[in-house]
Amino acid sequence: PCIGAPTALTIESSSNVYVRGLTIRNSQQMHLIIARSNTVRVSRVMVTSPGDSPNTDGIHITASTNVIVQDCKISTGSTTKSYTKLLLYIPFIPFKKKTLITGDDCVSIVNASSRIKMKKIYCGPGHGISIGSLGRGNSTATVSAIVLDTAVLKNTTNGLRIKTWQGGNGYVKGVRFENVEMHDVANPIIIDQFYCDSPSTCQNQTSAVHITEIMYRNITGTTKSKNAIKFACSDAVPCSHIVLNNVNLEGKDGKVEAYCNSAEGFGYGVVHPSADCLDSHDNKGLDQTQYLSETVLVGQEAKNAHDEL
């Protein structure tokens, strides 16, 4: 779309808003934006747009708190008969033949957002579910208490993604991704702190948004990527307190691996591919039992958001 192209629906500087059963087709840019708002609930939303339309995020959340996104289907491209048939067999989606079809992220969450809960989301094809991008132009970013509970991702170019530019400062903390099925997803679990959506090469920077207290639990399925788990964290500001529990990702075309750069944390239960590349202790030298207690299974804020929303 052209710069400044309209968004189909924007909720701006509002509180106590409920959006339900809405259908949006072929927005010129983002479909639904929630900006500078508090206490917003979105459920049973249908959005469709061509798969080759850039910046057409399904639901984009910025500078907002206490947001629930529930029972939504998010996809890119035309809905074929076989694809529609598949959607009807997803038990947690209570309405038929409705799809959120976009040419970008299914859901994107950016700066100054907290206490966001996504539940029962169908995403794919598309760019996956993203926190970011954050920190562009050496800016400050704060994102906390984010929960995704129960989702299916199919044929997406990314799965569960956190992306930040080099430079910048601030934090992403208290994030829980749990109960997610992946089907032929590229980059199913990815933290990318070298994000560069620019025609020219981005310069190396010595500051970064700090990513900490991130949990991945009950994540299963298949991937197209060799690196099923990728934590490309900042050399200057390493990721910390990353926990994986019961993660099992199989390669559709062969062996899968995990990649880590400047990432601290650990895995327990079944974790495939192995997360041995994570640095298993932080600067306090905690053992695993102390570590679990210290982080309260990664992010008390996120747990509170999960329980209360």
The residues that are catalytic are: 127
Q: Which helix (H) or strand (E) holds 300?
A: helix 300-308
**Cβ distance 29 to 44 under 8 Å?**
no
Q: Answer whether 49's CB lies under 8 Å from 99's CB.
A: no
Tell me the C-alpha distance between 131 and 86, whole Å.
27
CA-to-CA dists, residue 51 to 75, 136, 156, 228, angstroms:
8, 26, 11, 24
Q: Judging by beta carbons within 10 Å of its beta carbon (0-12, 13-18, 19+), is residue 97 exposed, middle or buried? A: exposed
Return phi, psi of residue 31, to 5°.
Answer: -85, -50
Q: Which residues contact residue 60 at a Cβ distance below 8 angstroms, ignoring those fewer than 6 apart?
A: 30, 32, 33, 34, 105, 107, 108, 110
